[in-house]
Amino acid sequence: MTDALLADTETRPVDPAATWWRQAAVYQIYPRSFADANGDGLGDIPGVLSRADYLAELGIDAVWLSPFYPSALADGGYDVADYRNIDPRLGTLSDFDAMVTALHERDIRVVVDIVPNHTSDLHEWFQEALRAGRGSAARERYIFREGAGADGELPPTDWVSAFGGPAWTRVDDGQWYLHSFAREQPDLNWAHPEVREDFLTTLRFWSDRGVDGFRIDVAHMLTKDLTEPLPSREELAQIPRDGNHPLLDRDDVHEVYAEWRSVFNEYDPPRTAVAEAWVETPERRAKYASAEGLGQAFNFDLLEADFDAAQFHRIIDENLEQARTTGSSTTWVLSNHDVTRHATRYGLPPLGGRPVKQGVEWVAAGGPAEQLDREGGLRRARAATLFMLALPGSAYLYQGEELGLHEVAEISPEERQDPAFFRGGEFDGLGRDGCRVPLPWTGEGASFGFGAGGAHLPQPEWFARYAVDAESADPASTLSLYREALRLRHRLQSGETLEWTDTGRADVLRFTRPNGWQAVANFGTEPFDLGDDAADAVLASSPLIGTSLPAETTVWIAPQI
Q: Which residues are catalytic?
A: 217, 266
Identify which range of 75-83, 279-287, 437-445, 479-487 contacts ligand BGC by CB under 6 A: 75-83
Contacts of ligand BGC in 529-548 (CB under 6 A): none
The DSSP secondary-structure symbol of 212 reads: -
217 binds ligand BGC (CB under 6 A): yes
| Residue 398 found at the interface with ligand BGC (CB under 6 A) | no
CA 125 to each of CA 82, 180, 186, 190, 321: distance values in angstroms, whole numbers, following the listed order: 10, 18, 10, 14, 43
Site for ligand BGC in 269-308 (CB under 6 A): 276
| Cβ 260 to ligand BGC shortest distance, Å | 18
As measured in angstroms, the least distance from the Cβ of 333 to ligand BGC is: 11
Nearer to ligand BGC among residue 181 and residue 398 (C-beta): 181
Stretch that binds ligand BGC, among 74-82, 138-146, 236-244, 258-266 (CB under 6 A): 74-82
Say whether residue 75 binds ligand BGC (CB under 6 A).
yes
| Neighbouring residues of 181: CB distance < 8 A, sequence distance ≥ 6 | 75, 78, 117, 118, 161, 162, 163, 419
Q: For residues 147 and 155, is the Cβ–Cβ distance under 8 A? A: yes
Q: What residues from 140 to 179 belong to the interface with ligand BGC (CB under 6 A)?
A: none
The verdict on 83 binding ligand BGC (CB under 6 A) reads no
When the beta carbons of 309 and 339 are compared against ligand BGC, the nearer one is 339
Q: Which x/- pattern over 237-276 shows residues binding ligand BGC (rule: CB under 6 A)?
A: ---------------------------------------x
| Residue 12 or 337 having the CB closest to ligand BGC | 337
CB 68 within 8 A of CB 89: no
CB of residue 403 to ligand BGC, shortest distance in Å: 21
What is d(CA 307, CA 305) in angstroms, rounded to the nearest whole number?
7
Give whichever of 181 and 511 is closer to ligand BGC, judged by the CB atom: 181
- What is residue 170's three-state secondary structure? strand
Number of residues counted as binding ligand BGC (CB under 6 A): 10
Q: To the nearest whole angstrom, how small is the minimum distance from the Cβ of residue 279 to ligand BGC?
A: 13
Q: Do 158 and 176 form a contact (C-beta atoms < 8 A)?
A: no
Question: Should residue 115 be labelled a site residue for ligand BGC when binding is judged by CB under 6 A?
Answer: yes
Nearer of residues 13 and 429 to ligand BGC, judged by Cβ: 429
Q: Which residue, 256 or 498, has its beta carbon nearer to ligand BGC?
A: 256
At 167, phi and psi to the nearest 5? -85, 5
Distance between CA 482 and CA 493 in Å, rounded?
A: 15
Q: Among 253, 268, 396, which residue's Cα sits nearest to residue 338?
A: 396
Least separation in angstroms between residue 201's CB and ligand BGC is 20
Rounded least distance, CB 215 to ligand BGC, Å: 9
Among 44, 198, 304, 338, binds ligand BGC (CB under 6 A): 338
The distance of closest approach from Cβ of residue 66 to ligand BGC in the complex, given in angstroms and rounded to an integer, is 8
| 5, 248, 298, 318 from 333: Cα distances, Å | 21, 22, 8, 15
What is the SS3 assignment for 378-415?
HHHHHHHHHHHHCCCCEEEEECCHHHCCCCCCCCCCCC
Query: Closest residue (Cβ) to ligand BGC?
Result: 78
With vertex at residue 332, the alpha carbon angle to CA 327 and CA 334, rounded to the nearest 5 degrees, is: 165
Q: Which is nearer to ligand BGC, 81 or 481 (CB)?
A: 81
Site string for ligand BGC, 454-493 (x = CB under 6 A): ----------------------------------------
Percentages helix, strand, coil for the chain (3-state, rounded to 5) are 35, 15, 55
- Residue 280's nearest CA partner among 326, 304, 248, 247 is 248
Minimum distance of ligand BGC from residue 544's CB (angstroms): 38
- Choose between 77 and 550: whose C-beta lies nearer to ligand BGC: 77
- Secondary structure element (H or E) that encloses residue 543, with its range: none
Q: Angle 281-323-357 (CA atoms, 0-180°, nearest 5)?
A: 45
For 299, other C-beta atoms within 10 Å of its C-beta total 24
450 within 8 A of 356, measured Cβ to Cβ: no
* Nearest of 426, 390, 401 to residue 180 by alpha carbon: 426
- C-beta closer to ligand BGC: residue 75 or 407: 75
Q: How far apart are the first and last CA of the chain?
A: 37
Q: Considering the complex, what minimum distance in angstroms separates the CB of residue 27 from ligand BGC?
A: 16
Beta carbon nearer to ligand BGC, 54 or 278: 278
Least CB distance from residue 79 to ligand BGC, whole Å? 8
Q: Is 474 exposed, middle or buried (0-12, 13-18, 19+ CB in 10 A)?
A: exposed
**By CB under 6 A, which span of 71-79, 266-274, 347-355, 512-520 interacts with ligand BGC?**
71-79
Alpha-carbon distance of 106 to 84, in angstroms, equals 25
**32 contacts 50 by C-beta, under 8 angstroms:** no
Residues making contact with ligand BGC (CB under 6 A): 75-76, 78, 115, 181, 217-218, 276, 337-338
